[in-house]
Structure formats: structure tokens, C-alpha cells
């Protein structure tokens, strides 16, 4: 029991810390919510689902790998490879969205905001799916070593419990950070920047992707 308590505390701490220190866990949702005009409920739902895919894709790989006797080194190498894919996807999405946003901003149409919303309403649904795909590829490196102890003991309840605690603190922290940012940004006047909202959102995600891919964030 002391070992299990320590593991649960470790899982909770790692879930919180790795989320706060990883801007890719919240900046994409904050940026896209501002650019797309997502309501709070929609923003939090998308964040929650992406977080769920992020945590449990790593949990399934880690649990099955350890149960089958795959070494921790090989699992960490696999997570590193998945992280590279996720980093490039995030960077590519940010770059593409920035270019698209700049092109839209340069089109000096009257009633720009209304025109943009009506013309691109049909394309809005693809963005959450792109984010979800990126987050499914995004690994939770800190989770694998914590799962090692119960997995090697063959304790399915232990694996489930640690994954649930890690996921709760990871996704919960994502939701709190995104909600706080969205509420804070709602108080900031943005009329002069509205035309550039998509370009700014893409730029934020691009910088985030560069940080993940080249700076190890």
C-alpha cells in the first residue's frame, strides 16, 4: 500500500507538472477558440477529448508493451518517435494555418468578420479533428515509467488506477488553463486585431510546434 500511495502521488504530480510545462497542452486550444469564436462549452469539450486521446493512447501502448515484456528503453524510444510525429504535425498545422490566416487578412473585404464566418462555417469542423489527431500521436512520456511497477506485477487495477489519476490531473490542468485563458482574453479589447485573428492563432501554434520539436518543450 505505501508503494501504491507513492505511485499515485507521483502520477498526480507528473500529470500536473508535465501539462503546465508543456504549452502544446493548452495554447492550441486557446488560440483556435479565439480565432474560431468557440464558446466555452465547445472549447472545453474539444480540450477534454484531445486530452483523453493524449493520455490513453500512451497508457494503452505502455500497459500492453510492459505486459508483453517490452523493455522500458524500447517503449521510451517508441514514445520519442510518436513525439516527433506529433511535433511535426503541430508545426505543420501551425504553419499552414498561419499562411491561410495571412492570406485572409490581406483580403481587405468590407464586413470582413461576417464574410469570414459565413464563407468558412463549413470548414470549421475539421479543426477539432486535426487537433485530436495531433494529440493522439502526442506521447505522455512521464506516464510509462510510473506504469512499470503495477504492469510488471500483473496488476490490472493498479494500471487502471494510475492511468486514471494521471489522466485526471493532466486533463483537469488542461481544462483549467484553457478556461482561465479564455475568460481572461474575453476581457481584452480585440477589435483592431480581429482581422488578423487567424494569422495570430496560426502563429501561436507554429511557435508552439517549433518549441516542441526543437526545444524539447
Contact 182, 40 (CB under 8 A): yes
- In this prediction, residue 148 carries a pLDDT of 78
Length of the chain: 217
- Rounded to an integer, what distance in angstroms lies between the CA atom of residue 108 and that of residue 93? 24
Q: Are 39 and 163 in contact (CB under 8 A)?
A: no
pTM: 0.85
CA distance 11 to 83: 20
First to last CA, the chain: 34
Q: What is the pLDDT of residue 106?
A: 85
- pLDDT at residue 192, rounded to an integer: 67
pLDDT digits (tens, 9 = 90+) for 13-35: 999 999 999 899 999 999 999 99
pLDDT value for 118? 37
pLDDT (0 to 100) of residue 119 = 40
Which residues of the chain are under the pLDDT cut of 70? 1, 108-124, 190, 192
CB 20 within 8 A of CB 162: no
Q: What is the model's pLDDT at position 121? A: 42
Amino acid at each position: 500500500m505505501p508503494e501504491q500511495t507513492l505511485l499515485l502521488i507521483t502520477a498526480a504530480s507528473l500529470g500536473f507538472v508535465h501539462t503546465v510545462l508543456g504549452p502544446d497542452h493548452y495554447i492550441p486550444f486557446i488560440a483556435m477558440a479565439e480565432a474560431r469564436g468557440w464558446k466555452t462549452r465547445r472549447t472545453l469539450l474539444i480540450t477534454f477529448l484531445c486530452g483523453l486521446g493524449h493520455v490513453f493512447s500512451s497508457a494503452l501502448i505502455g500497459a500492453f508493451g510492459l505486459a508483453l515484456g517490452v523493455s522500458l528503453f524500447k517503449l521510451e524510444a517508441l514514445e520519442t518517435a510518436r513525439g516527433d510525429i506529433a511535433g511535426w504535425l503541430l508545426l505543420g498545422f501551425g504553419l499552414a494555418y498561419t499562411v491561410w490566416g495571412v492570406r485572409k487578412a490581406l483580403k481587405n473585404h468590407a464586413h470582413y468578420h461576417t464574410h469570414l464566418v459565413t464563407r468558412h462555417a463549413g470548414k470549421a469542423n475539421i479543426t477539432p479533428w486535426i487537433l485530436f489527431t495531433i494529440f493522439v500521436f502526442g506521447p505522455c512520456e512521464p506516464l510509462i515509467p510510473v506504469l512499470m511497477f503495477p504492469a510488471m506485477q500483473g496488476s490490472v487495477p493498479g494500471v487502471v488506477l494510475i492511468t486514471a489519476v494521471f489522466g485526471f490531473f493532466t486533463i483537469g490542468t488542461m481544462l483549467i488553463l484553457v478556461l482561465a485563458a479564455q475568460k481572461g482574453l474575453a476581457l481584452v479589447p480585440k477589435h483592431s486585431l480581429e482581422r488578423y485573428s487567424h494569422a495570430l492563432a496560426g502563429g501561436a501554434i507554429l511557435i508552439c510546434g517549433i518549441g516542441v520539436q526543437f526545444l524539447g518543450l
